[in-house]
Amino acid sequence: MKLRVRFTEEGKIRFLSHRDVARIMERSFRKLRLPVAYSQGFSPRPKFSFGLALSVAHESDAEYLDVELVTPVDLEDLPNQLTQSLPDGLTVVAVEILEPGSTSLQQAIVCCRWNIEVLGAPLPDVTVAVADLLASSEHLLERTRKGKASIVDVRPAILELEVMGPTDTGVQLKALLATEGTSLRPSELVRVLTENLEEGRVRRTHQFTMVDGKRCEPIEAPDPSTQHQLEPTERNDLSRSLLSDLEERAS
């Protein structure tokens, strides 16, 4: 039986690397004695497969993990049990059975939605920069990936970009960035916008696959009213203050 697990990552734990989170998840499954399948060979590895890596210091509402089990398990209380066995800041929000033959997460995800805080420029400057970027038809970025330097037109990777308003320390943006074809990372977007802009808090809010021409999350976030794990977070505080800010300005 294959499971797909959706989890969130926030707070201090956001400073972990993707690899660190993977190891924690493996230990957590062992603690709960879940019958994880192992690879064959000289050094057997548990059959876990993680989605797109989340950069160090970024938070997320939508991280995914696929895991293969040898025998079926009861899913009823599993999200809660997993959360209990994880460090503070990692919360499993949903677990679903994955149909055999499903595409791997790495391949299925086409774009991600992000909340990105930028620091070092006032709201009007950021607004102008965003408008300019959206108006352009091409934007060349020099970047190095896997040791290879190249110049890429990243404009097609910016599917949506909006200024949400000021935060205590900077300006909040909301972006939808492609992950297949030409892709763009939030840190790269910050570099692309204007010079001397720094990255503040960054949070992945969604990962999307394409199903029948429509974007959808691999697992929809459960209705918050039935979720006991989600406690008020800094994010909620932030969005609340953002909302009140916007309301004030509108009035």
Min dist. Cβ of residue 169 to other proteins (A): 8
Place of tokens 């972006």: 175
| C-alpha to C-alpha distance for 57 and 48, rounded to whole angstroms | 23
Min dist. Cβ of residue 236 to other proteins (A): 18
Verify binding: residue 156, other proteins, rule CB under 8 A. Answer: no
Tokens of 138: 């091409």
* Residues 201-240 interacting with other proteins (rule: CB under 8 A): none
Query: Among residues 4, 7, 23, 129, which is the contact residue for other proteins, using CB under 8 A?
Result: 23
Sign of the CA dihedral with 29 first, then 20, 231, and 12 last: positive
Say if residues 97 and 3 touch (Cβ distance below 8 Å): yes
Verify binding: residue 30, other proteins, rule CB under 8 A. Answer: yes
CA–CA distances in Å: residue 129 to residues 133, 143, 197, 235, 242: 6, 20, 11, 25, 20
Phi/psi of residue 130, nearest 5 degrees: -65, -45
Residues 6+ apart with CB under 8 A from 27: none
Query: Among residues 33, 146, 228, 249, which is the contact residue for other proteins, using CB under 8 A?
Result: 33
| Residue closer to other proteins, measured from CB, 160 or 234 | 234
Verify binding: residue 72, other proteins, rule CB under 8 A. Answer: no
* Residues 88-117 interacting with other proteins (rule: CB under 8 A): 88-89
Q: Which amino acid makes up residue 179? A: T
Query: Among residues 3, 4, 10, 16, which is the contact residue for other proteins, using CB under 8 A?
Result: 16
Site residues (vs other proteins, CB under 8 A): 12-13, 15-17, 19-20, 23-24, 26-31, 33, 35, 38, 42-44, 56-57, 85, 87-89, 199
